[in-house]
Amino acid sequence: MREGTFTAADPTERDGTALLGMCQSIARWYQPAGPLAPQELAARYIDIALAIVCAQRPARGRTTRKPR
């Protein structure tokens, strides 16, 4: 935040709680046989986390799980 990379509105309360909740919840609902490959799920979570702290990363290719 000092360098201006992140501009979270409330880094100690709301934003921190959102990030922690997001990381803790994934273990409860993720299913290995689900529609998202782990890499795609991770990329989505990275995008959400960066949005919470008002930062962006360059667009990258996504990996999707192939139907069985």
For the segment 28-43, what is each residue's pLDDT rounded down to a tens digit? 888 888 888 888 888 8
Tell me, yes or no, if the pTM score tops 0.85: no
Average pLDDT, the chain: 75
Closest CA to 59 of 26, 37, 46: 46
Asked if residues 52 and 15 have their Cβ atoms less than 8 Å apart, the reply is yes
Residue, of 27 and 65, whose pLDDT is higher: 27
Tokens of 32: 């290995």
